[in-house]
Amino acid sequence: MTNVLLILLIITLLYVSIANRIITYVRVLALQGFILFGVTYLQLKDIETWNLVLIMLETIIFKAVAVPLFISYLIKRNRMTRETEPYLPHFVSLIIVTAIVVVTILLSNSIKDTHLDKIFFIVSLSTLFTGLYFIASRKKIITHVLGYLIIENGVFVLSLAVGNEMPNLVNLGIMLDVFASVLILGIFLNKIGDVFRDADVDQLSNLKDY
Amino acid sequence: MTGIYLISAFSIAALLFFNRNTFLNYLLVVLFGILQTAFTLYVCFNYKSTALVYFTFDSLGLLLLITLGIITLPALFHSYLYIVRHDETPQSRGIYFAAIVALITSITAAYLANHLAVIWIFTELTTLSASMLIYHHRNKLALEGTWKYLFICAISITFVFIGILFLSLSLQHAGSDDLSFSNLMLHKDELNQFWLKLSFLFIFTGFTAKLGLVPMYTAGIDAKDKAPAPAGALLASVLMNLGFTGIFRFYSVVAHTSLHSWANLVIMIAAVLSIFVAAVYMTKVMNIKRMFAYSGIEHMGIVMLGIAAGGIGYYAALLHIVLHAFVKSGLFFQFNQLYRTFQSKSILYTGNYFKYHPAGAIVLLLGFISATAMPPSGLFVSEFMIFRSLFESSHIAILIIVLVLLTIVIWAFGKNVFKILFLPVSGIDESKIPKINPWETLTQYAMLFAAIWLGLNPPAVFVDLLKDAVSILPS
């Protein structure tokens, strides 16, 4: 069951790579939150109940509900256009994301480690690199934020892989989440919306050396 | 005492954030200055002890903490001058000082932490407080700088976290789950090499955002440019030392494994690239603050070269990072007076500084001599030792490349600084140039002379601390 959920996570990445509208990204992000909720429940069997409850509450509240809702509120409030405005066509994106997944699978085959469930490693690394790819290939600031949140989901999967032995690391991952949400979303995007309407990175190139 | 310090410092920050009363505001700032000094003294007297499980007062921590303690006081003083002159609203004044207090406190805690995850948490807090400082002016450019800083720091912090996860996988092979440095040192022979390798790559990359090395240096440049100069002084000195602490502590574990020479290679590549980047940008840069920031990148490159070369390079690298903190903060404090004189950050619109503010001009000249490591600067001593260590470890090619790049840096730096100091500039209304009280430069002279004195005639205690801090590395 864990494997099914993790593979579903990979499929969402492929889906995002051809998505045309920002709201699709947000919905996929919410879906990933629910998937992670399920993975957490299935994976973390050896940790204390209150800790498990805390982690699961975090995934469902932060990852699946609050952050996606907040982003869609921001999109509406700042009247952002719906397109994601990628630098590359969707077809190329799809190929690149597929290539990322294939390469991580090949890479992880070279690892001989009994302590790690390989699928966690594959899923988290491909999510991480896909997130980085989204940041590099999309124009809007809001898609950069979404890319960062996808990276965070990938890191969270990796922390679940060691979660049974070191539950504190999962808690640290949650701190990272809260940090990102408070910082990037709470304080910041509000202001960016006020100053730069429909912001894209082209407007963020005024800091220069001369 | 550590608990009391952390709680009271963070509550001072919270009070500053909400307080609107001018007198109470400055009272709290003075109180924090006293608290920081008292805590530094407390750590000195409790050298080598452990507090609250996660904080150990070891030599490296103590060394950098004393540096921080000394820089804190002039930073608060210059912040006061800055805020008074800029007619800040009570709100922005409160946020500014709250952010400074939170920044200094988190840096203090991160210096002393003996656990990788604790360093990580406090590094997160420094990102938060530093971004409040960068956003101080609340205009479009400040927002851009803050956004870039936040985003890159967020990604690099995620990288460090991934590194910690890989490290925990590596540690599982040793049958342990405690990520404190002493425990890592204990199990250094049983760590899984593959995961340790990945972990070092990610942690190193992550901390370069704070240290100011290739690949993540970019965020720091914009940050130091947009933050008010007294805050920029902290970002350019003690915050960079925080990145160094993170890398150095983890490196001292890796250095005891078979990955030592591989890790040296990684560090050396990043260091040489950083010096290269600094040299390239220094020749083009027209913004004085960014010029200082790029000079910082170059110095961090030299420091990491010392670490990678080993031998006497370890000692020299630590000496260099302490001295650099004094010199660079002195230069940033001076920048404010320069800006008040010319109302411009650009080298094009500044000139003949000796005529308008001789005391400040001498600071700039001395700062230039110090930052380019010419005698009698203390940095000359440390840089010389680092070059010697490169020579002894037979990295002659690297040494030659670095020397050529440093010549370019000195040329570019000198060209700009001498233009500011001596060349007259047209289009300046001399009647508008304010008279600056020379006494305000006193702290800057103190910073620069501290760097000279510690380099040329280091007190025995200081040398012992340096030697003890590098004694954990293999000789």
| Rama region for A180: left / alpha / beta (φ>0; ψ in -120 to 50; rest) | alpha
Residue of B nearest to A201 (CA): B144
CA dist A18 and A137 (Å) reads: 12
CA dist B80 and B305 (Å) reads: 37
Look-up: residue for tokens 């912001």?
Answer: A199
pLDDT in tens, B152-175: 998 999 999 999 999 998 888 888
Mean pLDDT of A92-114: 89
Four-residue CA torsion sign, B466, B468, B473, B475? positive
Residue B113 β-bridge partners:
B55
Answer for the pair B383, B375: CB distance below 8 angstroms, yes or no: no
Q: Under 8 Å CB-to-CB from B232, ≥6 apart: which residues? A: B223, B224, B225, B289, B332, B335
Q: Give residue ranges of A with CB < 8 Å to any B CB.
A: 111, 113, 115-116, 128, 141, 144, 148, 151-152, 155, 158-159, 161-162, 165-166, 168-169, 172-173, 175-176, 179-180, 183-184, 188, 191-192, 195-196, 204, 206-210
Residue B287 β-bridge partners:
B346
Q: What pLDDT is stored for residue B339 in this prediction?
A: 93
Give the number of other CB atoms < 10 A from CB of residue B449: 15
Longest dimension (CA), chain A: 57
Answer for the pair B146, B226: CB distance below 8 angstroms, yes or no: yes
Mean pLDDT of A129-148: 87
Q: End-to-end CA distance of chain A, in Å?
A: 57
CA dist A30 and A69 (Å) reads: 9
Answer for the pair B266, B200: CB distance below 8 angstroms, yes or no: yes
Percentage above 90 pLDDT, chain A: 31
Mean pLDDT of B137-144: 84
Chain A closest-CA separation from residue B162 CA (Å)? 7
Cα torsion B462, B467, B470, B475 to 10°: value is: 160
The mean predicted confidence, pLDDT, of chain B is: 93
CA dist B308 and B286 (Å) reads: 32
Angle, to 10 degrees, between the axis of helix B312-342 and the axis of helix B442-456?
A: 160
Look-up: residue for tokens 């090395």?
Answer: B213
Residue A73 banded pLDDT, cuts 50, 70, 90: confident
The H or E element spanning position B363 is helix B358-371
Chain A closest-CA separation from residue B177 CA (Å)? 7
pTM metric for this prediction: 0.94
DSSP letters spanning B369-435: HHHTT-TTSHHHHHHHHHHHHHHHTT-HHHHHHHHHHHHHHHHHHHHHHHHHHHS--SS--GGGSPP
The yes-or-no verdict on residue A202 having pLDDT over 70 is: no
The parent domain of residue A179 ranges over 2-202
Say whether both B245 and B273 belong to one domain. Answer: no
The yes-or-no verdict on residue A192 having pLDDT over 70 is: no
Four-residue CA torsion sign, A52, A54, A57, A58? negative
Q: What pLDDT is stored for residue B434 in this prediction?
A: 87
| C-alpha of B335 from chain center | 17
The yes-or-no verdict on residue B296 having pLDDT over 90 is: yes
Mean pLDDT of B231-249: 95
Answer for the pair B193, B218: CB distance below 8 angstroms, yes or no: no
Chain B closest-CA separation from residue A179 CA (Å)? 8
Say whether both B292 and B407 belong to one domain. Answer: yes
The yes-or-no verdict on residue A8 having pLDDT over 90 is: yes
Residue B196 banded pLDDT, cuts 50, 70, 90: very high
Residue of A nearest to B155 (CA): A148
B164, A115: Cβ pair inside 8 Å? no
Say whether both B223 and B353 belong to one domain. Answer: no
Q: What pLDDT is stored for residue A195 in this prediction?
A: 61
Answer for the pair B330, B444: CB distance below 8 angstroms, yes or no: yes
**What's the DSSP call for residue A21?**
B
Out of A152, A159, A204, name the one closest to residue B165 (CB).
Answer: A159
Say whether both B273 and B315 belong to one domain. Answer: yes
The parent domain of residue B292 ranges over 259-475
Out of A116, A172, A184, name the one closest to residue B161 (CB).
Answer: A172
pLDDT in tens, B340-384: 999 889 999 998 999 999 999 999 999 999 999 998 899 999 999
Say whether both B310 and B406 belong to one domain. Answer: yes
Answer for the pair B112, B66: CB distance below 8 angstroms, yes or no: no
Say whether both B101 and B134 belong to one domain. Answer: yes
Token pair, residue B267, equals 């560090």
CA angle A79, A82, A84 (to 5 degrees): 125
The yes-or-no verdict on residue A186 having pLDDT over 90 is: no
Say whether both B206 and B83 belong to one domain. Answer: yes
Look-up: residue for tokens 């007076």?
Answer: B337
Answer for the pair B235, B132: CB distance below 8 angstroms, yes or no: no
CA dist B185 and B353 (Å) reads: 53
Residue of B nearest to A180 (CA): B154
pLDDT in tens, B435-471: 888 899 999 999 999 999 999 999 999 999 999 999 9
Q: What pLDDT is stored for residue A80 in this prediction?
A: 73
Residue A33 banded pLDDT, cuts 50, 70, 90: very high
A173, B226: Cβ pair inside 8 Å? no
Last residue of a domain, one of B208, B237, B258: B258
Four-residue CA torsion sign, B141, B142, B143, B144? positive
Cα torsion B130, B131, B132, B138 to 10°: value is: 140
Which of helix, strand or coil describes residue A159?
helix
How many structural domains is chain A composed of?
A: 1
Residue B385 banded pLDDT, cuts 50, 70, 90: very high
Last residue of a domain, one of B258, B278, B305: B258
Q: What pLDDT is stored for residue A184 in this prediction?
A: 63
The yes-or-no verdict on residue A197 having pLDDT over 60 is: no
- Give the mutation candidate from B162, B217, B413 for the A interface (greatest A CB count, under 10 A): B162
CA dist B325 and B241 (Å) reads: 8
CA dist B352 and B28 (Å) reads: 39
DSSP letters spanning B157-189: HHHHHHHHHHHHHHHHTTT----BHHHHHHTTT
pLDDT in tens, B13-52: 999 999 999 999 999 999 999 999 999 999 999 999 998 8
Say whether both B263 and B115 belong to one domain. Answer: no
Lowest mean pLDDT across A104-113, A177-186, B224-233: A177-186
Q: Under 8 Å CB-to-CB from B226, ≥6 apart: which residues? A: A207, B134, B137, B141, B142, B144, B145, B146
Say whether both B226 and B170 belong to one domain. Answer: yes
Residue B346 β-bridge partners:
B287
Q: What pLDDT is stored for residue B462 in this prediction?
A: 95
Out of B169, B225, B290, name the one closest to residue A162 (CB).
Answer: B169
Percentage above 70 pLDDT, chain B: 100
Give the number of other CB atoms < 10 A from CB of residue A102: 11
CA angle A117, A119, A120 (to 5 degrees): 75
Last residue of a domain, one of B230, B258, B286: B258
Residue B161 β-bridge partners:
none
CA dist A127 and A157 (Å) reads: 9
| Domain assignment present for A207 | no
- Give the mutation candidate from A140, A172, A192 for the B interface (greatest B CB count, under 10 A): A172
Q: Which among A68, A81, A82 is positioned nearest to A12, based on CA atoms?
A: A68
Say whether both B75 and B168 belong to one domain. Answer: yes
Say whether both B41 and B128 belong to one domain. Answer: yes
The mean predicted confidence, pLDDT, of chain A is: 84
For residue B225, the chain A residues in CB contact (below 8 A) are 207
Mean pLDDT of B45-68: 93
The yes-or-no verdict on residue B272 having pLDDT over 90 is: yes
Residue B201 banded pLDDT, cuts 50, 70, 90: very high
Residue of B nearest to A200 (CA): B144
How many structural domains is chain B composed of?
A: 2
CA dist B329 and B367 (Å) reads: 10
Lowest mean pLDDT across A111-125, B79-93, B190-204, B209-223: A111-125
| Domain assignment present for A209 | no
By residue count, chain B amounts to: 475
Q: What pLDDT is stored for residue A210 in this prediction?
A: 62
Say whether both B134 and B246 belong to one domain. Answer: yes
pLDDT in tens, A165-183: 788 888 888 887 777 776 6
The yes-or-no verdict on residue A66 having pLDDT over 80 is: yes
